[in-house]
């Protein structure tokens, strides 16, 4: 919607094609559904700019969650913010093979960004059957189906993030359900094959003049 507003475009003439999971492409294989345990309480954040991605909001939310679930953990991948909080692990930048292990280890993916043209990390998380939590800005509500594959929260709202996380941790079967639905949504809508197919069809439609 930001692109439509900025250029004053007709929404009917804008097609969202998105993007596929880069990590799967890098590993040269297709997404596959796997048996996954949701008994642990491991949160995952993947991003290069911790501040711009509102990592501070996630830390505040994690502190609230930690009071209720002492075994909760937060893993931060892709950057190295200086954090000394019990239960928080800062990993830094990883190659695809290493990153995959953290997607497999986690139970929930959270990134409360204020702006995302396209959120590849949510797509990647969904291919690893992770329920996702993101904000109602940019492309995020298009990727995450609120209440079906994860939760959409208001920006700059650590309390709401914490409430959603606590709910998920109290209901592992919901995490499993969200994870399954997210995986199905990702492989149906967010693969590079799907992106290419959509672009090709739109070009063909434009050239033939058929709407």
The reply to whether 6 falls in a domain is no
- The reply to whether 27 falls in a domain is no
Tens-level pLDDT at each residue, the chain (211 residues): 567 777 777 777 777 777 777 766 555 567 778 889 999 999 999 999 999 999 999 999 999 999 999 999 999 999 999 999 999 999 999 998 899 999 999 999 999 999 887 888 999 999 999 999 999 998 899 999 999 999 999 999 999 999 999 999 999 999 999 999 999 999 999 888 888 888 898 888 888 876 5
CB of 36 within 8 A of CB of 183?
A: no
Residue 19 lies in a domain: no
Q: How far apart are CA 115 and CA 82, in angstroms?
A: 23
Q: Could you tell me the CATH number of the domain that includes residue 46?
A: 3.40.50.2000
Residue 23 covered by a domain: no
For the entire predicted model, the pTM comes to: 0.87
Give how many domains the chain has, as a whole number: 1
Domain assignment of residue 172, given as a range: 35-205
């Amino acid at each position: 919607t930001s692109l439509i507003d900025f250029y004053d475009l007709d929404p009917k003439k804008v097609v969202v094609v998105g993007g596929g999971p880069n990590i799967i492409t890098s590993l040269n294989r297709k997404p596959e559904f796997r048996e996954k345990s949701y008994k642990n309480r491991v949160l995952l954040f993947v991003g290069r700019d911790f501040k711009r991605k509102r990592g501070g909001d996630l830390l505040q939310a994690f502190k609230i969650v930690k009071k209720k679930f002492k075994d909760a953990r937060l893993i931060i991948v892709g950057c190295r913010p200086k954090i000394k909080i019990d239960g928080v692990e800062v990993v830094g930048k990883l190659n695809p093979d290493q990153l995959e292990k953290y997607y497999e280890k986690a139970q929930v993916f959270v990134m409360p960004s204020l702006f995302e043209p396209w959120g590849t990390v949510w797509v990647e998380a969904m291919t690893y059957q992770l329920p996702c939590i993101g904000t109602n800005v940019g492309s995020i509500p298009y990727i995450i189906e609120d209440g079906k594959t994860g939760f959409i929260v208001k920006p700059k709202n650590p309390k709401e993030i914490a409430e959603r996380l606590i709910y998920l941790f109290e209901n592992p079967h919901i995490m499993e359900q969200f994870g399954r639905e997210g995986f199905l949504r990702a492989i149906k809508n967010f693969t590079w094959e799907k992106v290419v197919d959509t672009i090709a069809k739109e070009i063909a439609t434009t050239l033939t003049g058929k709407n």
